Structure 1
Amino acid sequence: MRVPTSWLREYADLPADLSTAALADRLTMLDLKLEEIIEAGAGLSGPIVVGRVLSAEPEPQKNGKTINWCSVDVGPDHGVDGGPRGIVCGAHNFGPGDLVVVALPGSVLPGDFAIAARKTYGHVSDGMICSGAELGTAGDPDGIIVLPADSAEPGTDAVALLGLRDDVLDLEVNPDRAYALSMRGVARDAAIGFDVAFHDPADVTLPETEAASYPVVVEDPVACPVFVTRTVRGLDPTRPTPRWMVRRLELAGMRPISLAVDITNYVMLELGQPIHGYDASRLQGPIVVRRAAPGEKVTTLDDQVRDLSTEDLLITDDSGPIGLAGVMGGATTELGPDTTDVVIEAAHFDAPTIARTARLQRLSSEASRRFERGADPELPLRASQRVAELLVELGGAVADEGVTVVGRPPARKQITLASDLPERIAGLPIEAETAVVALEANGCAVELSDDLLTVVAPSWRPDLTDPYDVVEEVLRHVGYDQVPSVLPPAPAGRGLTPLQRRRRRVGQVMAGAGYVEVTTFPFAGPADFDRLGLAPDDVRRDQVLLENPLSAEEPGLTTTLMTGVLRALALNVGRGHDDVSIFETARVYLPEQDQPDAPIPGVDARPSDDEIAALDAALPAQPYHLAVAVTGRRERAGWWGEGRRATWGDAVEAFRTVAGSLHLELEVSSGDVGAPWHPGRTAVLSLDGTVVGHAGELHPRVCRAYGLPPRAVAGEIDLSALLAASPEIGPRPDFSTFPVAKEDVALVVDASVPSADVAAALVEGGGDLLESVRLFDVYTGDPVPDGSKSLAFALRLRAGDRTLTEAEAAQARDAAVARAAELTGAVQRA
């Protein structure tokens, strides 16, 4: 909201010596944050005065251009020996007798444009007759500013007359403070901040009549509780908007259009109530407020044909839709250059309805910004009267006596709280009487009785709904800077929980393995699942949908980390990184069947245990997952070797390393699990017989969908399951001081037998003496038969109380090999 300080001072008796910076600081302390102080007219200096054109003689030039050689009276204090000045001007929208703005030699215009007497077109031009653009303001569309006759004497300071120099506060308005999107609201806060008188521009004399104006039918009184119409006739459409109004609109950031439209915009800025004017001659039948029907369209004032949703609230007549209620009017009834009779609309609309329409239509307007934040429902009648008065005063119109008022404003909210609540919340002494004064200054009706405050919020403050909102209003008046900064005593620390320690260990292990952690948004949509190649009935497409998603393309919470991790991988590859290894630990959100709705507990007390239990029951399952994604070389080339490209085994090993750090052993087997994995190149990861994740090479279609190089690898595992199964870390285990016995075996098995199954069989057969099993070689070819493979394992055997004899080590080795032969058909190579 842009607030010209000269306009603000009309409604608040601010001290004359108050600086703009001090005003901005005080408003910031009242929750109206300053974005910028705009010094309008700062580029103007020197003598810029009103002049009267005495003569203007056209002189054609050889280049085809015609200039005017003018004699201009600029007053006795600025003339040449008290007489007129001669000025050359190329514009033609003025003539003898007109009042114009003259920049005299020595003045400087915006853009550091210095004015001096100079010879041009055979004359010495002793100044410049100015257009609006040259002064940094709007002027006549044809060029030179022509002032109303007898509006000033020659020699009058034009900068002050036209309000060219002013300070403008650009304020950031919170979403719940619609009242601050008006001069009325900001002036009220300024008056409160400096304890000065406030003059309410909404204090107008309302018409005393029961006669109706233009007929109105409201079919949805919830979305439109109040609708007011007034009619004025005989408007002179040729009358220009007064320059003071044009200047104020410009400083507030709005473009002047025509007198009638400018007046509606001016009153909106002044009071905060959006107004719309209809050309009465273009209306057909009564105005009807209703929801849109399927398939309806409307052409709005920006000449866009808009397809309507049944959620949209419309203004219609017998011809159909003539506007989007609270957002933008329609082109069929707009005020034009020949409009003489105007129907004024001033209505109040439900904030969620207008916000939804503005979002669906992707159309944010000055009106919708105010309605969706909660405009004052008691303003429509007063605002319509203010517009009618200005049209009569400035446009020569006559207002009909009748007024149509449909509906009534919603009842004001009543709030009860303990009188000492502001003091207890703020931590500084606040007497009950001080709270009453503060609330009454903000427009509240307050009653103090038996240590209770009963507060009725003003109509322009729909955000005041509970006792703590009232406390905030009291603190705004007292001053947030008066609230002491008290650091609460920190409780004795207990350190990290076992679960927190395990989660941190996972991140440390992944970083130590050469992976970089990424954090992605937990949102996904159908397009993400399509890129992953998920089938239409895949359970991972069943999402928890958001009520208010950041993007319509990602309406729900993700069920797999692959959606975000692969986007991050593609982003890095697109930025020119060839070798990327990333991981993410985050929650996924898995909806359950027949999940109950979440209750909404009150804010006046701590939720009960039953309410907390009901909230927990309404939450979807939110397990932590760990995902990795790798492309390019896993080991770089150098003097130490040729390097190695990443394979599906790297993703498997990452998860095995994590599991090992949690004192767990993953079971790895091959399997075809579908999208997004490549058939035959995917590992199934299990823990105690339960599948907890998958890792492998991505399907070529998935790589193409994400723009990844071929044979990129990835994996995802249920980290919550690993953390839950991880044993508590107890005292340091006892380590055997006796030497290890090393035995290597080579086993020939069928090519389809997973090496993990063979290793598991060796562990089972080796018994307590077998300390570890490691696969160190896989061989196919002569002399291994076709369809078979040779697996070489390093067995490490150790006893805790003695050195193993050669016979004991051989016995344990043979037992392990025998069990492998029994379970997998393995045959030991000679």
Structure 2
Amino acid sequence: MRIPVSWLAEHLELSEETSAETLADAFVRIGMEVEEVTHLTPITGPLVVGRVAEVEELTGFKKPIRYCRVEVGESETGEERIRGIVCGATNFSAGSLVVVALPGAVLPGDFEIAERKTYGRVSEGMICSARELGIGEDHDGILVLPPGSADPGSDASEIVGLDDSVIELSITPDRGYCFSVRGLARELSNALDVPFGDPANRSIPDDDRPSRVVRIEDETACSRFVFRRLTGVDPAAPTPWWMQRRLALAGIRSISLPVDVTNYVMLEFGQPLHAWDAAKVSGDVVVRRAAAGETLATLDDVRRELDPDDVVICDDSGPVSLAGVMGGAGTEIGRDSNDVLLEAANWEPASISRMIRRHRLPSEAGKRFERGVDPAIAAVAAERAARLLVEYGEATISAGRTDVGEPTTPAPVTMPLALPDRIAGVRYERGVTVQRLTQIGCRIEVGTSADGVGVVTATPPTWRPDLSQPADLVEEVLRLEGYHTIPSVVPAAPAGDGLDAAQLRQRAVSRALAHDGYVEVLPFPFTGEETLDAFGLDDSDPRRNALRAANALEADRSLISTTLLPGLLDSLQRNLARGRRDLALFHIGQVVLPEKEQQALPELGVETRPSEESLAELRSALPAQPKHVGVVLAGQRERSGWWGSGRAAGWADAVQAARLVAETVGASLEVSAGETPPWHPGRCAELTVGDTVVGHAGELHPKVIEALELPKRTCAMELDLDALPLTERRPAPMVSSYPPVRLDVALVVDEGVPSGELAESLRTGGGELVEEIRLFDVFTGEQIGAGKKSLAFALQLRASDRTLTQQEATEVRDAAVAAAHERFGATLRG
């Protein structure tokens, strides 16, 4: 919204020292965003009013060129001075008053005017357009002043108004009333505490006789409709210069007097108007929704197919206007139109907003209607426009006024008098709340509640439909008092014990995985049916029983994840697409596991805080949301380089990630062969703690890898972190200063014996002196027999208080082998 400072000042009692910057600062203080303050650039040198004496059309050029003889005032001897000026504009004729920059003048942009030869003639100056003078963007033609507005040779700077400034503001959607001089001047009045003269405070003559019959069939779409008829309008009457200037500074091009008047009143009051050619309207006027198949040719010469949701204005011929958005071509004001109907209506914002987007017709009128227009000023705006046409267009106002519908009044809002103080944490002076609410136009009643607390009941004005609850009134008081008066104080942190045990456990697991080379990601917490199909999950799998988001961000990912793997694999794919090849990612997050027949959540209101019983009912209805930890690996786990060849990530790395998590939280994790999608049935480990299955790890199934276009041998692990025992004290590594003893053991067992379980039996048999067991070789062949395999383990033994003797180490090894023999029939390889 661009607005000249002189227009705002017309409705405020400002001192002469008040600058545009002062007004801009006042806007900012009350929460409005100022985009720019533009001062019209003063023009140095001779800038005068000229009268075109004669026009000669020059031929032989690609564009229209005219050589004009222009009267620019009298010389010292009293003779009329005439200058020859070359000009390319065609919107003027002999006798027109124009603005002339004579040689020596410097226009905005340091454009110096000099006498020069062009197009075969000597040009002794320049006839200026609005953009060349810096008062607007119109460059389609030169600036033509109304007849009689000045004498040739007069100083044009004062007439043009080059001492003005323009403030450009960004108006938020909830403040539609600020799309007008009326609204902005009222805001400045409140910010500066200066008197304000409401331009809409005008008398309207009583006249109940309708100028034309109007029926509103859809009262939801239109709450008020006003017609005012004028006859004898001079279609050639020029728009007064002061109006042209204000429109130009506001960014609106002058077209014709009737159109300019409607635009001017729209900017002044915020009420869009539309001028109809009354001679082209037949029969009664009806406001309704469009019927299927109806069309309308709009003012932009486009025939549009109407939607049944569109609001249209019709006469006997059908739709003649797209309500609040654009008029119809059939009732357009033409050059010979002298019988005019002025329309001022109030439309439902939601309907207008949908129509603007449906037909792609943004406009200044639509911008105001979709944000809400004051329904009480429709008749005032129509009367204001009618009187301007009488004054400048020689029109006559016809008897009778059509005024259908009743303006709606916002509902009263009651709040405690001290609520603004309590919300802001500031003790305002007594009476501030009533004063500020009165300033914005509220009708105030002060009273006492049943419990003896002072309350204020405010009935918002018709132009403030956004004031619907106590919080809105509080915002107005705080805004007008100034947000800068609210101190910025950091609240004291309440005493506490810091992170709880579960949070400390999660942090420890994150650090352990990060130290092991994994990178944490935050994947999208939603998935789709296609991903679950790719995982090979059947209907009986509980991971299939996922809740569906009612307002999903992506239609193909509307299921709330029951597993972390979809999000992790999506992050893996995204990194692969960006050129990464060796990846180890992890994520710790909640999954949602609803029951087969999930209990519906109770609906809680927002009027008051829910009771403890209601909160308990809500909590009991929530599905289980355990915290899981998951990892995915692809590419090389150990990079290759000058030091040697690398090692590809494998299922054992996924299992080791699970062991790392268990070790970090102090849980005893058992690893055994498992089989569950989406893992490879022969390369899947089942992870248990006690008798509880807490997760799985291993290599993904080849069909899953193919369906999701993942690298071959992609591995993953997912573990229920909440299922692990929660210990307040996690184990710390034991550091011994005594040397270790290393022994190798090769055991022959059946091919079906899991290496992990065999290693666990060695650890159990060897006792607490066994510090580490590592499998370093697997061998099968005729030497050890059919159906057998040889597993070679490296045992590292250490005591915390002494150096182990050879005999002690041998006894530990023998005990470990004996335990493996007892459980699996393992024998030492010869």
Interval containing the TM-score (normalised by the shorter chain): 0.7 to 0.9
State the distance in 2 between where 1:145 and 1:184 align: 28
Q: Contact 1:315 / 1:321 at 8 angstroms: preserved in 2? A: yes
1:552 to partner: Cα distance: 7.1
Residues 736 and 422 of structure 1, relative CA distance in 2, 3 Å threshold: same
Provide structure 2 residue ranges, at least 5 long, that are not aligned to the other structure. 449-453
1:530-579 Cα offsets, whole Å, 9 max, x none, are: 998999999669555355x7677777766665565555545544444444
Aligned with residue 478 of structure 2, among 472, 475, 478: 475
Q: Tell me how many residue pairs correspond in the alignment.
A: 813
State the distance in 2 between where 1:528 and 1:78 align: 92
1:827 to partner: Cα distance: 7.2
The aligned amino acid for 2:457 is T
Residues 233 and 500 of structure 1, relative CA distance in 2, 3 Å threshold: same
1:101-156 Cα offsets, whole Å, 9 max, x none, are: 21122223344422112233454422112234544566988633332222222233
Alignment of 1:132-531 (within 5 A): 132-136=130-134, 143-163=141-161, 166-212=164-210, 218=216, 221=219, 223-224=220-221, 226-232=223-229, 234=231, 242=240, 244-254=242-252, 260-275=258-273, 281=280, 286-290=285-289, 312=309, 314-315=311-312, 317=314, 328-329=325-326, 335=332, 337=334, 345-351=343-349, 366-367=364-365, 369-390=367-388, 401-450=399-448, 451-519=454-522, 522=525
Matched, 1:6 2:3: no
Residues 637 and 240 of structure 1, relative CA distance in 2, 3 Å threshold: farther
1:422-454 Cα offsets, whole Å, 9 max, x none, are: 344444443332332222111111223353322
1:233-286 Cα offsets, whole Å, 9 max, x none, are: 556666565554454444434555665555444444333344456666367864
- Partner SS for 1:439: helix
The aligned amino acid for 1:186 is L
Q: Contact 1:230 / 1:388 at 8 angstroms: preserved in 2? A: no
Residues 469 and 766 of structure 1, relative CA distance in 2, 3 Å threshold: same
Task: Tell me which residue corresponds to 2:19.
Answer: 19
Q: Contact 2:546 / 2:559 at 8 angstroms: preserved in 1? A: no
Task: Tell me which residue corresponds to 2:451.
Answer: none
Alignment of 1:528-567 (within 5 A): 542-545=546-549, 565-566=568-569
Provide structure 1 residue ranges, at least 5 long, that are not aligned to the other structure. none
- Partner SS for 2:376: coil
1:67 to partner: Cα distance: 4.8
The worse-fitting range, judged by mean Cα deviation, of 633-642 and 81-90 is: 81-90
State the distance in 2 between where 1:484 and 1:352 align: 39
Task: Tell me which residue corresponds to 1:814.
Answer: 818
State the distance in 1 between where 2:539 and 2:239 align: 61
Residues 263 and 721 of structure 1, relative CA distance in 2, 3 Å threshold: farther
Residues 731 and 206 of structure 1, relative CA distance in 2, 3 Å threshold: same
1:372-421 Cα offsets, whole Å, 9 max, x none, are: 54443434444444444455555565555555555434443323333333
Task: Tell me which residue corresponds to 1:599.
Answer: 604
1:717 to partner: Cα distance: 3.3
State the distance in 2 between where 1:509 and 1:733 align: 13
1:512 to partner: Cα distance: 1.4
Q: Contact 1:228 / 1:384 at 8 angstroms: preserved in 2? A: no
State the distance in 2 between where 1:114 and 1:293 align: 60
Alignment of 1:52-91 (within 5 A): 52-60=51-59, 67-76=65-74, 83-91=81-89
The aligned amino acid for 2:23 is L
Q: Contact 1:131 / 1:140 at 8 angstroms: preserved in 2? A: yes
State the distance in 1 between where 2:371 and 2:511 align: 47
Residues 126 and 305 of structure 1, relative CA distance in 2, 3 Å threshold: closer
1:661 to partner: Cα distance: 1.5
Residues 360 and 166 of structure 1, relative CA distance in 2, 3 Å threshold: same
Task: Tell me which residue corresponds to 1:128.
Answer: 126
- Partner SS for 2:435: helix
The aligned amino acid for 1:476 is R
Q: Contact 2:665 / 2:731 at 8 angstroms: preserved in 1? A: no
* Percent of residue pairs bearing the same amino acid type: 45
- Partner SS for 1:201: coil
TM-score, normalised with respect to structure 2: 0.81
State the distance in 2 between where 1:672 and 1:361 align: 57
Matched, 1:48 2:53: no
The worse-fitting range, judged by mean Cα deviation, of 572-581 and 467-476 is: 572-581
Q: Contact 1:278 / 1:343 at 8 angstroms: preserved in 2? A: yes
The aligned amino acid for 1:205 is S
1:520 to partner: Cα distance: 5.0
1:683 to partner: Cα distance: 5.7
State the distance in 1 between where 2:334 and 2:586 align: 64
State the distance in 2 between where 1:531 and 1:364 align: 46
1:613-642 Cα offsets, whole Å, 9 max, x none, are: 455567665544445455544333222122
State the distance in 2 between where 1:537 and 1:126 align: 92
The aligned amino acid for 2:693 is T
Q: Contact 1:623 / 1:718 at 8 angstroms: preserved in 2? A: no
Residues 658 and 398 of structure 1, relative CA distance in 2, 3 Å threshold: farther
Task: Tell me which residue corresponds to 1:95.
Answer: 93
Q: Contact 1:226 / 1:349 at 8 angstroms: preserved in 2? A: yes
TM-score, normalised with respect to structure 1: 0.81
The aligned amino acid for 2:224 is F
The worse-fitting range, judged by mean Cα deviation, of 459-468 and 567-576 is: 567-576
State the distance in 1 between where 2:178 and 2:305 align: 32
The worse-fitting range, judged by mean Cα deviation, of 257-266 and 105-114 is: 257-266
1:798 to partner: Cα distance: 7.5
State the distance in 1 between where 2:538 and 2:260 align: 57
1:55 to partner: Cα distance: 3.1
State the distance in 2 between where 1:733 and 1:5 align: 75
- Partner SS for 1:208: coil
The worse-fitting range, judged by mean Cα deviation, of 500-509 and 790-799 is: 790-799
Q: Contact 2:146 / 2:239 at 8 angstroms: preserved in 1? A: no
Residues 422 and 541 of structure 1, relative CA distance in 2, 3 Å threshold: same
Task: Tell me which residue corresponds to 1:108.
Answer: 106
- Partner SS for 2:431: helix
The worse-fitting range, judged by mean Cα deviation, of 23-32 and 386-395 is: 386-395
Q: Contact 1:419 / 1:432 at 8 angstroms: preserved in 2? A: no
Residues 403 and 67 of structure 1, relative CA distance in 2, 3 Å threshold: closer
State the distance in 1 between where 2:658 and 2:513 align: 9
The aligned amino acid for 1:72 is V
